[in-house]
């Protein structure tokens, strides 16, 4: 527990604690999740919810918090390159550089089908 308390010594600052409480309140309002200050991965969870949020207020509050506590930036997950790539059965699928040829129109009884 001592290592956790030494890592979170920044929480003893009343101004920073106020920002954390505001983040927790906004996360609870938007996502319905109650985060506790004693949770082991609190910084990671705050960063995850700040990234997922639609609330500009939560985004601003998290930005203010990370400006004052630089070690919180390490809790932010890096953008996954794999998410941009298409996968098929767990394997990355190469994107085509040439556009696909347009399919010809099928006409059935005077109506365009498919």
Helices (H), 69-101: none
- In angstroms, the CA 109 to CA 97 distance is 37
The answer to whether the CB of 46 falls within 8 A of the CB of 27 is yes
The torsion defined by the Cα of 96, 99, 100 and 102, in degrees rounded to 10, comes to: 170
In order along its 114 residues, the chain shows pLDDT tens digits of 455 556 778 888 899 899 999 999 999 999 999 999 888 888 889 989 998 889 999 999 999 999 998 888 776 655 554 456 677 777 777 766 666 677 788 888 988 887
The answer to whether the CB of 70 falls within 8 A of the CB of 80 is no
Question: How many Cβ atoms are within 10 Å of 28's Cβ, its own excluded?
Answer: 13
pLDDT of amino acid 102: 75
pTM here is 0.61
């Amino acid at each position: 527990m001592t290592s956790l308390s030494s890592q979170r010594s920044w929480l003893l600052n009343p101004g920073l604690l106020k920002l954390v409480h505001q983040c927790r309140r906004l996360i609870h309002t938007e996502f319905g999740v109650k985060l506790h200050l004693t949770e082991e991965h609190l910084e990671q969870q705050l960063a995850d919810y700040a990234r997922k949020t639609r609330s500009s207020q939560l985004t601003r509050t998290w930005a203010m918090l990370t400006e004052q506590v630089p070690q919180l930036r390490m809790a932010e997950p890096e953008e996954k390159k794999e998410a941009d790539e298409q996968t098929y059965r767990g394997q990355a699928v190469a994107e085509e550089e040439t556009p696909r040829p347009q399919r010809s129109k099928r006409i059935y009884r005077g109506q365009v089908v498919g």
